[in-house]
Amino acid sequence: RQELYRELRDRPAVTKDNVAIDLNMNAGLLVDLPQLEDSGAAGIGLFRTELQFMVAAAFPRAEAQEALYYDVMAAAGEKPVTFRTLDIGGDKVLPYFKAGFVEENPALGWRAIRLTLDRPALFRTQVRALLKASRGRVLRMMLPMVTQLSEIAEARELIDKEVRHLSRFGHDLPKQLKLGAMVEVPALLWQMDELMKAVDFVSVGSNDLFQFVMAVDRSNTQISNRFDTLAIPFLRVLKQIADAGHRNNTPVTLCGELAGRPISAMVLLGLGYRSISMSPASIGPVKAMMKDLPLGDFSKSLEVLLSSGDVGRDVRQHVMDFAETHGIT
């Protein structure tokens, strides 16, 4: 298989019926970067900036943040990189940063964009580091755990302030700034069109979205094994997001673990996703699946399942049967 993956690496990422798919990789540290070349990823769809904070003994200084972001972009060359702003709190704790209060439900608590908007100095330092590191380039930033559109507006205001500040002091700025939001909180599902208009792109964080849609703690295997990520209700949610993106001409991607498993990646393509981001080791297997996938036919069969009214249908089995019939391995 490794040989097949290596051979596929330099071939375009297209399905059997020639639909092009953007296959990106997730990363978070400098050691991940060689994978960009080795995996043949189109870019970095999710750069988890909190990892630098998690492996440090104290808050990384502004210079260290800027240096990392610069190195990441230098290594990526022409390939796009999407930096997620700090996603700390919840399951991602920093030993040197105590909230000063106890949270009974950290997953629903003071985390990600909620925390950074409450600590604007932290957010602005990171944004400034990103802006300085990406002089002359396109800077793609995305906000984690957005719940309401006002958070995007608030973040944008802080970003604009940094842009003004830097340009006043004669710094080179990115040639373009793109701001995206992660779809991880179900409340966004009822403001999809407004969300799509408020940002330049959207990325589905299916790990958290599944946790919140199904009310299933993502780290509790006692219950999580009970629920299938390919359950029809959840697939309807994912389809709703892809459709809203198409309707509003806003690029939509998905960067949760679902993207990296060939069977679920197949489903994502069937639902209309044309860009996904996964761990680098998954790119080969997903590309291998794609080369044998007649996406048009598969989408139609999935559409029938999703609208059949039998919401308990075993989609996973259906997809595996389809894969077997079509020689997809």
Residues in the site for ligand PEP, rule: CB under 6 A? 46, 48, 87, 184, 205-208, 255-256
Q: How far is the CB of 167 from ligand PEP (least distance, A)?
A: 32
Q: Is 176 left (phi over 0), alpha (psi -120 to 50) or beta?
A: beta
Strands (DSSP E) found in the chain: 22-27, 44-48, 81-84, 138-143, 176-183, 201-204, 252-254, 275-278
> Counting contacts by CB under 5 A, is residue 50 touching Mg ion?
no
Are 88 and 53 in contact, with CB atoms under 8 Å apart? Answer: yes
Q: How far apart are CA 302 and CA 299, in angstroms?
A: 5
The partner in contact with residue 255, picked from ligand PEP, Mg ion, none with C-beta cut-offs of 5 to 8 angstroms by kind, is: ligand PEP
Q: How far is the CB of 102 from ligand PEP (least distance, A)?
A: 22
Are 281 and 25 in contact, with CB atoms under 8 Å apart? Answer: no
The partner in contact with residue 159, picked from ligand PEP, Mg ion, none with C-beta cut-offs of 5 to 8 angstroms by kind, is: none
Residue 190, classed as helix, strand or coil, is helix
The partner in contact with residue 206, picked from Mg ion, ligand PEP, none with C-beta cut-offs of 5 to 8 angstroms by kind, is: ligand PEP
- Of the two residues 166 and 235, which places its CB atom closer to ligand PEP in the complex? 235
- Of the two residues 212 and 297, which places its CB atom closer to ligand PEP in the complex? 212
The H-or-E segment that residue 110 falls in is none
Q: Phi first, then psi: what are they for 45, rounded to 5°? A: -80, -20
Q: How far apart are CA 116 and CA 105, in angstroms?
A: 18
Range 206-225, binding Mg ion (CB under 5 A) = 208
304-326 burial string, b = 16+ CB within 10 Å, else e? ebbeeeeeeeebeebbeebbeee
- Of the two residues 46 and 271, which places its CB atom closer to ligand PEP in the complex? 46
The partner in contact with residue 125, picked from Mg ion, ligand PEP, none with C-beta cut-offs of 5 to 8 angstroms by kind, is: none
Q: How far is the CB of 208 from ligand PEP (least distance, A)?
A: 3
Q: How far is the CB of 84 from Mg ion (least distance, A)?
A: 9
- Of the two residues 162 and 257, which places its CB atom closer to ligand PEP in the complex? 257
Here the tokens at position 186 are: 């179900």
The partner in contact with residue 162, picked from ligand PEP, Mg ion, none with C-beta cut-offs of 5 to 8 angstroms by kind, is: none
Q: How far is the CB of 87 from Mg ion (least distance, A)?
A: 6
Dihedral angle sign, alpha carbons of residues 243, 246, 250, 251: positive
- Of the two residues 213 and 315, which places its CB atom closer to ligand PEP in the complex? 213
Q: How far is the CB of 255 from ligand PEP (least distance, A)?
A: 5
Dihedral angle sign, alpha carbons of residues 293, 296, 298, 299: positive
Q: How far is the CB of 138 from ligand PEP (least distance, A)?
A: 21
- Of the two residues 219 and 307, which places its CB atom closer to Mg ion in the complex? 219
- Of the two residues 145 and 288, which places its CB atom closer to ligand PEP in the complex? 145
Are 123 and 86 in contact, with CB atoms under 8 Å apart? Answer: yes
Q: How far is the CB of 186 from ligand PEP (least distance, A)?
A: 13
- Of the two residues 46 and 188, which places its CB atom closer to ligand PEP in the complex? 46
With contacts defined by CB under 5 A, name the span among 16-24, 146-154, 204-212, 287-295 that binds Mg ion: 204-212
Task: For residue 5, count other CB atoms closer than 10 A to its CB.
Answer: 18
> Counting contacts by CB under 5 A, is residue 205 touching Mg ion?
yes
Q: How far apart are CA 148 and CA 183, in angstroms?
A: 11
Binding site for Mg ion (CB under 5 A): 205, 208
